[in-house]
Structures are given as structure tokens and as C-alpha cells.
Amino acid sequence: MSPASGLVIAVPRGALMRDSLDLIDALGIDTSEVRGNDRKLLFEDVGIVTMRPSDVATYVEAGAADIGITGKDVLTEQADREVYELLDLQYGRCVMVLATRAGEDPAAEALRRLGVVRVATKYYKTAQAYFEATGRQAEIVEVKGSVELAPLTGLVEAIVDLTATGTTLRENDLVIREELFVSTARLIANPVAHKLKASAIDDVLERLRAG
């Protein structure tokens, strides 16, 4: 009987997936079928459902999964989600940054000259909350594609984005001006499941902390 027996686990596809499956393997759950099938999303035999990292908190909040793994960046952007953050899993480290074109800081110049800075990001709420908290006025422009393009074309003076190595920023002649926070993978739980399946979730937590 697996230590997470009875629990449905939401696993993020993409950069966090392999480390997340390694973690689940360590709990005694066989993830070989998940690793071997790129197209299948639901693995009922082992209680795993896979999805985009940005959807994990949605599924966990709704109770479609009891627990899940996603980045702190997602939880910060979706701060209104009713989920419990249980554990920092300490992998998938990235930094949420404010970046501009190299040279004289165009964001600082815009604030001095106009009192407002234009900022492109995929993390609208995160950027908005950051500028409000730091007492600066910003016009947030939400983009879906490569956010690095926005300052290069003059659409904005700055971007707020997640970076692991900073390579993409450097390749586009952008430099980091400020660091908002460090993002790592987090274990989250549905509040109802946290009560009704407390022993199973506590067992998972104990094993992860011990491991």
C-alpha cells in the first residue's frame, strides 16, 4: 500500500516535472507510466494528474486533487486561491526580477520624468502588488509571449519576469535591477482534504521532511 494511498496528486508538467516525479517515487509510488507517456494526463492507478504549473492551484482548490506541487511564483500570482502551502520542496529555484535594458536605467528615468513606469509581465498581480508595496506608480502591460521583447520595441521601460540563470535576459541586452523574491517548488493541499485526509497528508509530509 503506497504511503500516499487515497490521495490524488497534481503534478506540474515542464521544468518541475522530473524532480516532482523523483519526489513521488521516493514516497513509494511508481511513476514509470507517467514518465513514459507524454500525452496522457490522468493516471488513476497511482493517483496522479498532470497539468501546467499555473493550473495546479486551481485543481487543488477545487478538490480535483488533494495535494499538488507548483512554484512559489504561481502561488504569489494566485494569492487568492484557497489552498494551504505545506512545504518548501527546495528545487526548481528561480528568481522573480525587475529588469530593463542595459545602461542608464530607463525605469528609474521614467519614474523621475513622468512619475509612472510601464512594465510588461506575465505576472500581472505580482507586478502590481510589488509596485504598490514599494510606493511607485506603474502601468502594467500583460503579455503572453516572450516578455523580453517588450522593452526592446519600446512598448515598456521594464519587465517583471521569472529567471533561472539570467541567460535569456543577457542575450536580449537586459539587466536585473531588482529581485522581488526567490521561487521554488511548493507542496500545497486542499483545505478540506487537509482535514479529512490528515493522516495520509501528514505521512507524506513526514516522509518528505525526513528524505
Using one digit for the tens of pLDDT, what is the confidence trace for 58-82? 999 999 999 999 999 999 999 999 9
Q: Are strands 84-88 and 48-51 parallel, antiparallel or unpaired?
A: unpaired
Would you say residue 3 lies in a domain? Answer: no
Would you say residue 1 lies in a domain? Answer: no
pLDDT at residue number 5: 61
56 plus 79 within the same structural domain: yes
117 plus 155 within the same structural domain: yes
79 plus 14 within the same structural domain: yes
Asked whether the predicted pLDDT for residue 190 surpasses 80, the reply is: yes
Question: Could you tell me the residue range of the domain that residue 98 belongs to?
Answer: 94-182
105 plus 46 within the same structural domain: no
Q: How far apart are CA 168 and CA 142, in angstroms?
A: 19
Asked whether the predicted pLDDT for residue 211 surpasses 80, the reply is: no
pLDDT tens for 25-40 read 999 999 999 999 989 9
170 plus 203 within the same structural domain: no
Reported confidence tier of residue 4, pLDDT bands at 50, 70, 90: low
Give the count of domains, the chain.
Answer: 2
Which parts of the chain are beta strand (E)? 9-12, 42-43, 48-51, 67-71, 84-88, 94-101, 117-121, 138-142, 158-163, 174-183, 185-189
100 plus 149 within the same structural domain: yes
Would you say residue 84 lies in a domain? Answer: yes
Q: How far apart are CA 160 and CA 107, in angstroms?
A: 12
pLDDT at residue number 2: 45
Residue 189 phi, psi dihedral angles, 5° rounding: -140, 150
34 plus 83 within the same structural domain: yes
The pTM of the full predicted model, rounded to 2 decimals, is 0.92
Would you say residue 142 lies in a domain? Answer: yes
Would you say residue 4 lies in a domain? Answer: no
**CATH number of the structural domain spanning residue 173:** 3.40.190.10
Reported confidence tier of residue 166, pLDDT bands at 50, 70, 90: very high
SS3 content of the chain, % helix, strand, coil (to 5): 35, 30, 35
pLDDT at residue number 210: 87
Mean of pLDDT over the chain? 95
